[in-house]
């Protein structure tokens, strides 16, 4: 058996093929059932997502926490509550948290603690429950505050409740594995729905259709950097920056089932780093990068790891060769000790 | 002995129970995502037919909106202007108010946010921005109703108006609280301010075709005069931001 760190490109190609093979061959019902029932899937992706969601929640608490009284407090801007959704008994009890400043601060403290636990990978199910409950309460308290990133986080946190903790070693084919894999499937479908819906909506929008949408976004104060406004007046820049995200979203589901999956996800991550930098949507981008990382299967992570090791070895060899002193040739013998 | 027999029966049932739980949970997941797809889909006959069940389940507990600058991206700067009023000024009509001493509560957030992406400025501007948009356009969920209204359905028109009224009342409640917090915070020594006048200023982005020489169109919409809500928490940012 050849080592994962073997340097020949064919090894990486065959690894990539075997990593991508399940996503294509699982289209048969029997294999799909086995995928769901037998082994827990996306364990590394799950950790990636937990860390990303934890970072996003921690960022929100760190930046908005000092305004807790103004945003959610007993006399703050937000006056909503959970009674609309959960009735006066359950909803009323939850809403009492916002009746005092201490209670409001307590909600944020639980959210921060849950985020830290998610990042560190400890008691992740309890942490997910704490994060979901407090996050949902804050959202209902001031529904005008959240953005799209919060929307997907709230939904994904529900599915994350069923994911296995990082160090869990459940019985093969057991119900714990089954529910973990159902949650994995739910998160994947939810991401596909997000991208496809957004792509379809863009496709029938006039400004997206005609390739000028990003010009308008770049000129609005809310989501722009003044230094970049002039750049988006260039026809090539604006057309490409409008069409690329639209086609990216439209073909997202197909790309996941194709050999382009990993490059597609990498482009998505780079795109969201750009969104965080230029549009300033840091929390949104963090969770979106987490979701893109979640979509990478364990086999694909193994492939990426092997590839990075191979690249590192290759770079080390190259670097070492460059640093090694030249071997003296017979025609020009080295003369030692001739320097003054 | 009796207990042993029961246990043997139960063990035989175990795999069937497991299969039952699996079939039930998978069916539930499929149903959930079928409803989700209908919920996020554009208006179509299935969505209209299943509206009560879709909005009663997904709309209530899994509400989601993935428009992300679509179908048409945001193309205007909307800012909230506030003018604190004393009891005499509060009796005037919105249009008769003096032109000066209006405070823009939104723009300072944007300029600060452009300087520091790792901050809460964008978030803090969201409640007012979203409330202003809600006041002017309601919610995306009202889309099918306004469409039907435009086609002459009087019931749809009445429903739309009723829902719009609710959205406007809620949006105004948020905006008045924001304005009240601002006045309390920025004018602690002006106890004679009893009311606030609210105004929405829209600055439309210059169209693409006129990008090099066009001037942005600015329009104001008065939302009226409202009594200051006592005791609204101050943010502690307006003195800093302004």
In order, the DSSP letters of A123-182 are SHHHHHHHHHHHHHHHHHH-TTS--HHHHHHHHHHHHHTTSPPTT--PPTTSHHHHHHHH
Boundary of a domain, candidates B18, B35, B61? B61
As a whole number of angstroms, the distance between CA A39 and CA A45 comes to 14
The reply to whether B67 falls in a domain is no
What percentage of chain B carries pLDDT values higher than 90? 41
Find the range with the poorest average confidence among A172-186, A212-226, A254-268: A212-226
The reply to whether B23 falls in a domain is yes
Half-sphere exposure at residue A288, Cβ-oriented, CA atoms within 13 angstroms: 27
| pLDDT for B187 beyond 90 | no
B8 shares its domain with B124: no
B88 shares its domain with B181: yes
The reply to whether B87 falls in a domain is yes
As a whole number of angstroms, the distance between CA B213 and CA A192 comes to 41
Q: Say yes or no for a CB contact (<8 Å) between A280 and B177.
A: no
As a whole number of angstroms, the distance between CA B180 and CA B193 comes to 10
The DSSP secondary-structure symbol of A278 reads I
Of B192, B189, B175, B190, the closest CA to residue B232 belongs to B175
B23 shares its domain with B101: no
Of B81, B35, B106, B49, the closest CA to residue A190 belongs to B35
The number of folded domains in chain B is 2
Q: How confident is the model at residue B239 (pLDDT cuts 50, 70, 90)?
A: low
Find the range with the poorest average confidence among B48-62, B93-107, B123-137: B93-107
B144 shares its domain with B197: yes
Of B40, B118, B178, the CB nearest to A197: B40
Which one has a higher pLDDT value, B121 or B142? Answer: B121
Which one has a higher pLDDT value, B96 or A70? Answer: A70
Model pLDDT, residue A28: 80
Give me the mean pLDDT over the B63-83 stretch: 88
Which one has a higher pLDDT value, A251 or B116? Answer: A251
Q: How confident is the model at residue A339 (pLDDT cuts 50, 70, 90)?
A: very low
Find the range with the poorest average confidence among A11-15, A247-251, B225-229: A11-15
Highest mean pLDDT among A47-56, B2-11, B184-193, B215-224: A47-56
Interface of A with B in 227-266 (CB under 8 A): 233, 238
The reply to whether B189 falls in a domain is yes
Report the side by side order of strands in the sheet with B217-227: B103-104, B76-85, B195-204, B217-227
Q: Say yes or no for a CB contact (<8 Å) between B68 and A204.
A: no
Give me the mean pLDDT over the A219-238 stretch: 90
B85 shares its domain with B139: yes
Q: Per the structure block, which two tokens stand in for A193?
A: 């729905």
| pLDDT for A1 beyond 70 | no
| pLDDT for A156 beyond 60 | yes
Q: Say yes or no for a CB contact (<8 Å) between B40 and A208.
A: no
Give me the mean pLDDT over the B23-32 stretch: 96
Find the range with the poorest average confidence among A1-15, A149-163, A200-214, B214-228: A1-15
Boundary of a domain, candidates B12, B28, B61? B61
The reply to whether B201 falls in a domain is yes
| pLDDT for A15 beyond 80 | no
Model pLDDT, residue B54: 92
As a whole number of angstroms, the distance between CA A130 and CA A118 comes to 10
In chain A, domain spans? 41-318
**For B219-242, what is the HEC assignment?**
EEEEEEEEECCCCCCCCCCHHHHC
Which of B127, B128, B203, B236 to probe the A interface (max A CBs under 10 A)?
B127
Helix (DSSP H) and strand (DSSP E) numbers for chain A? 17, 0
Please report where in the chains the tokens 């069916």 appear, as a residue.
Answer: B27
B98 shares its domain with B165: yes
Interface of B with A in 185-214 (CB under 8 A): 205-206, 208, 211-212
Q: Per the structure block, which two tokens stand in for A15?
A: 């690894």
User: By three-state DSSP, how is residue B63 classified?
Assistant: coil
| pLDDT for A325 beyond 80 | no
Q: Say yes or no for a CB contact (<8 Å) between A148 and B65.
A: yes
The radius of gyration of chain A's CA atoms, rounded to the nearest angstrom, is 25
Give me the mean pLDDT over the A149-156 stretch: 96
Model pLDDT, residue B8: 76
Which of A38, A75, A191 to probe the B interface (max B CBs under 10 A)?
A75
Q: A208 in contact with B at a CB cutoff of 8 Å?
A: yes
Please report where in the chains the tokens 């108010």 appear, as a residue.
Answer: B97
| pLDDT for A158 beyond 90 | yes
The reply to whether B68 falls in a domain is no
Q: Say yes or no for a CB contact (<8 Å) between A213 and B69.
A: yes
**Å from B171 to nearest chain A CA?**
9
Q: Per the structure block, which two tokens stand in for A83?
A: 């009674």
Q: How confident is the model at residue B71 (pLDDT cuts 50, 70, 90)?
A: confident
ipTM above 0.90, yes or no: no
Q: How confident is the model at residue A5 (pLDDT cuts 50, 70, 90)?
A: very low
Helix (DSSP H) and strand (DSSP E) numbers for chain B? 8, 4
Highest mean pLDDT among A234-243, A311-320, B154-163: A234-243
With beta carbons under 8 A apart, name residues in chain A contacting B26: 36, 182
With beta carbons under 8 A apart, name residues in chain B contacting A238: 208
Which of A201, A209, A243 to probe the B interface (max B CBs under 10 A)?
A201
Q: Are A76 and A18 in contact (CB under 8 A)?
A: no
Model pLDDT, residue A41: 94
Of A175, A223, A277, the CB nearest to B21: A175
Of A298, A287, A302, A297, the closest CA to residue A51 belongs to A287
What percentage of chain A carries pLDDT values higher than 70? 86
Boundary of a domain, candidates B38, B61, B84? B61
Of B183, B12, B206, B203, the closest CA to residue B89 belongs to B183
Interface of B with A in 78-97 (CB under 8 A): none
As a whole number of angstroms, the distance between CA A289 and CA B69 comes to 19
The reply to whether B170 falls in a domain is yes
Q: How confident is the model at residue A338 (pLDDT cuts 50, 70, 90)?
A: very low
Pairing mode of beta strands B217-227, B103-104: unpaired
Q: Say yes or no for a CB contact (<8 Å) between A144 and B71.
A: no
| pLDDT for A202 beyond 80 | yes
The reply to whether B71 falls in a domain is no
DSSP element (H, E) containing B82:
strand B76-85
Which residues on adjacent β-strands are paired with residue B84? B196
Give me the mean pLDDT over the B197-220 stretch: 91
Give me the mean pLDDT over the A298-313 stretch: 92
Of B40, B68, B134, the CB nearest to A148: B68
| pLDDT for B145 beyond 70 | yes
Q: B64 in contact with A at a CB cutoff of 8 Å?
A: yes
Mean pLDDT value across chain A: 88
Interface of A with B in 128-187 (CB under 8 A): 142, 144-148, 151-152, 155, 158, 175, 178-179, 182, 185-186
With beta carbons under 8 A apart, name residues in chain A contacting B118: 59, 63, 282
B110 shares its domain with B168: yes
Of B60, B66, B123, the CB nearest to A197: B66
Q: Say yes or no for a CB contact (<8 Å) between B64 and A151.
A: yes
* Boundaries of domain holding B210: 76-241
Of A179, A134, A137, A138, the closest CA to residue A160 belongs to A179
**pLDDT (tens digit per residue) in A242-301:** 999 999 999 999 999 999 999 999 999 999 999 998 888 999 999 999 999 999 999 999
Of A175, A189, A205, the CB nearest to B18: A175
As a whole number of angstroms, the distance between CA A189 and CA A194 comes to 9
CA angle A174, A176, A180 (to 5 degrees): 120
Highest mean pLDDT among A261-275, B66-80, B96-110: A261-275
Q: How confident is the model at residue B132 (pLDDT cuts 50, 70, 90)?
A: very high
B109 shares its domain with B195: yes
Which one has a higher pLDDT value, B141 or A240? Answer: A240
Give me the mean pLDDT over the A163-182 stretch: 92
| pLDDT for B207 beyond 60 | yes
Find the range with the poorest average confidence among A61-70, B31-40, B132-141: B132-141
| pLDDT for A236 beyond 60 | yes
Neighbours of B233 (CB within 10 A): 22
A-to-B residue pairs, Cβ atoms closer than 8 angstroms: 178
Q: How confident is the model at residue B1 (pLDDT cuts 50, 70, 90)?
A: low
Which of B70, B78, B127, B185 to probe the A interface (max A CBs under 10 A)?
B70
């Amino acid at each position: 058996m050849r080592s994962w760190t073997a340097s020949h490109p064919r090894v990486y190609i065959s690894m990539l093929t075997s990593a991508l093979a399940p996503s294509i061959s699982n289209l048969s019902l029997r294999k799909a059932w086995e995928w769901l029932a037998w082994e827990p899937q996306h364990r590394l992706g799950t950790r990636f997502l937990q860390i990303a969601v934890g970072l996003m929640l921690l960022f929100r608490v760190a930046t908005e926490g000092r305004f807790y009284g103004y945003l959610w407090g007993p006399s703050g801007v937000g006056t909503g509550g959970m009674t609309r959704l959960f009735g006066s008994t359950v909803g009323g009890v939850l809403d009492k948290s916002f009746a005092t400043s201490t209670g409001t601060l307590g909600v944020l403290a639980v959210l921060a603690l849950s985020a830290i636990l998610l990042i560190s990978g400890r008691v992740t199910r309890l942490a997910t429950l704490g994060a979901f409950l407090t996050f949902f309460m804050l959202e209902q308290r001031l529904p005008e505050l959240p953005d799209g990133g919060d929307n997907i986080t709230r939904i994904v946190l529900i599915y994350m409740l069923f994911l296995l903790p990082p160090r869990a070693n459940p019985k093969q084919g057991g119900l714990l594995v089954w529910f973990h894999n159902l949650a994995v499937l739910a998160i994947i479908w939810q991401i596909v729905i997000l991208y496809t819906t957004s792509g379809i909506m863009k496709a029938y929008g006039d400004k997206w259709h005609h390739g000028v949408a990003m010009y308008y976004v770049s000129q609005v104060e809310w989501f722009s950097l003044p230094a970049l406004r002039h750049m988006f007046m260039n026809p090539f820049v604006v057309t490409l920056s409008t069409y690329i995200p639209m086609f990216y979203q439209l073909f997202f589901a197909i790309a996941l089932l194709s050999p382009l999956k990993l490059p597609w996800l990498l482009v998505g991550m780079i795109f969201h780093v750009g969104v965080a930098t230029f549009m300033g949507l840091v929390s949104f981008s963090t969770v979106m990068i987490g979701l893109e990382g979640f979509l990478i299967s364990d086999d694909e992570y193994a492939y990426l790891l092997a590839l990075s090791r191979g690249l590192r070895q290759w770079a080390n060899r190259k670097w070492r060769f460059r640093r090694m002193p030249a071997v003296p040739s017979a025609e020009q013998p080295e003369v030692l000790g001739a320097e003054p | 002995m009796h207990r042993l027999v029961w246990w043997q029966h139960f063990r035989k049932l175990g795999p069937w129970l497991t299969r039952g739980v699996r079939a039930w949970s998978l069916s539930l997941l499929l149903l959930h995502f079928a409803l989700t797809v209908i919920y996020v889909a554009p208006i179509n006959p299935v969505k209209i037919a299943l509206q009560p069940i879709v909005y009663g389940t997904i709309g209530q507990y899994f509400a989601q909106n993935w428009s992300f600058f679509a179908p048409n991206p945001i193309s205007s700067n909307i800012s909230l202007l506030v003018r604190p009023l004393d009891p005499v000024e509060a009796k005037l009509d919105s249009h008769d108010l003096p032109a000066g001493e209006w405070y823009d509560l939104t723009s300072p957030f944007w300029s600060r946010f452009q300087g520091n992406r790792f901050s809460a400025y964008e978030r803090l501007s969201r409640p007012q921005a979203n409330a202003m948009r809600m006041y002017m356009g309601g919610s995306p969920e009202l889309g099918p109703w306004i469409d039907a209204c435009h086609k002459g359905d009087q019931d749809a028109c009445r429903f739309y108006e009723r829902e719009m009224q609710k959205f406007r009342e809620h949006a105004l409640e948020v905006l008045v609280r924001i304005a009240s917090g601002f006045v309390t915070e920025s004018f602690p020594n002006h106890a004679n301010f009893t009311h606030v006048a609210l105004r929405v200023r829209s600055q439309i982005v210059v169209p693409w075709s006129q990008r090099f020489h066009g001037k942005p169109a600015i329009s104001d919409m008065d939302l009226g005069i409202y009594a200051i809500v006592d005791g609204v928490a101050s943010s502690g940012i307006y003195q800093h931001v302004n």
